[in-house]
Amino acid sequence: MVKTNPNFMNGVPELLVLRLLSEREMYGYELVKEIRAVTKESLGFGEGCIYPILHSLEEDGVLASRRRQVNGRSRYYYRLTAAGAPRLEKLAAEWERVRRGIVLAMGGMRERFAGV
Partner DNA sequence: TTGACATACCTCATAGTTAAAGGTATAAGC
Partner DNA sequence: GCTTATACCTTTAACTATGAGGTATGTCAA
List binders of DNA among 1-30 (CB under 7 A).
3, 5-14, 27-30
Is the Cβ of residue 71 or residue 116 nearer to DNA in the bound state? Answer: 71
Q: Does 101 bind a second copy (CB under 8 A)?
A: yes
Is the Cβ of residue 22 or residue 56 nearer to a second copy in the bound state? Answer: 22
Q: Does 44 bind a second copy (CB under 8 A)?
A: yes
- How is residue 83 annotated by DSSP? T
Angle between helices 12-21 and 28-38 (to 10 degrees): 100
The listed partner (DNA, a second copy, none) that binds 98, CB under 5 to 8 Å by sort, is a second copy
In this structure, what are the phi and psi dihedrals at residue 65, rounded to the nearest 5 degrees?
Answer: -125, 155
